[in-house]
């Protein structure tokens, strides 16, 4: 299980009411459930994006990769390797990482939500690129520079 995903788009807009008290998921890779997954999310009440992983044994957070301004395009990318490490880069900045995440079974990519459907994204995605292999942190930063906004 090695993946890289990059995306660009616009964070929340005023076109509909934002959901209250719920984190918004930009991208999730899972095994068909919300038990074994890796995701990039915007935490409720904040303008930041970061990576999170969940397994039946627990969860971990990469820390915040960056802060956005509502309505302003941004780039975000993540690389996930077979050892359970996820690294997230925002706009080509140095990636933040966490270890201990899922090491197998991640077969589904979801944009803008989780498998349960309860944390929909409030915004739009303009570009997505998924590669079937992990890359180094430096390569992740370089790949993000080529993603259009």
What tokens were used for 12?
């929340």
- pLDDT at site 121: 77
- pLDDT at site 4: 54
Helix (H, G, I), strand (E, B) or coil at 141: helix
Confidence of residue 5 (pLDDT cuts 50, 70, 90): low
Helix (H, G, I), strand (E, B) or coil at 6: strand
Mean pLDDT of the chain: 81
Using CA atoms, how far residue 49 sits from 32, 78, 138, in Å, is 23, 11, 19
Confidence of residue 23 (pLDDT cuts 50, 70, 90): confident
The full set of domains in the chain, from first to last, is 3-14+22-145 (2.60.120.200)
Q: Is this model's pTM higher than 0.85 or not? A: no
């Amino acid at each position: 299980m090695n993946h890289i995903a990059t995306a660009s788009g616009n964070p929340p807009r005023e076109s509909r009411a934002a959901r209250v008290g719920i984190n918004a998921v930009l991208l999730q890779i899972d095994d068909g459930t919300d038990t074994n997954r890796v995701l990039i999310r915007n935490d409720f009440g904040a303008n930041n994006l970061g990576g999170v992983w969940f397994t039946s044994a627990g969860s971990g957070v990469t820390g915040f990769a960056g802060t956005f301004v509502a309505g302003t395009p941004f780039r975000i990318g993540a690389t996930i390797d077979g050892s359970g490490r996820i690294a997230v880069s925002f706009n080509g900045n140095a990636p933040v990482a966490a270890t201990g995440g899922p090491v197998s079974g991640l077969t589904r990519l979801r944009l803008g939500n989780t498998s349960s459907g309860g944390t929909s994204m409030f915004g739009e995605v303009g570009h997505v690129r998924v590669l079937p292999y992990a890359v180094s942190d430096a390569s992740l930063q370089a790949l993000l520079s080529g993603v259009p906004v």
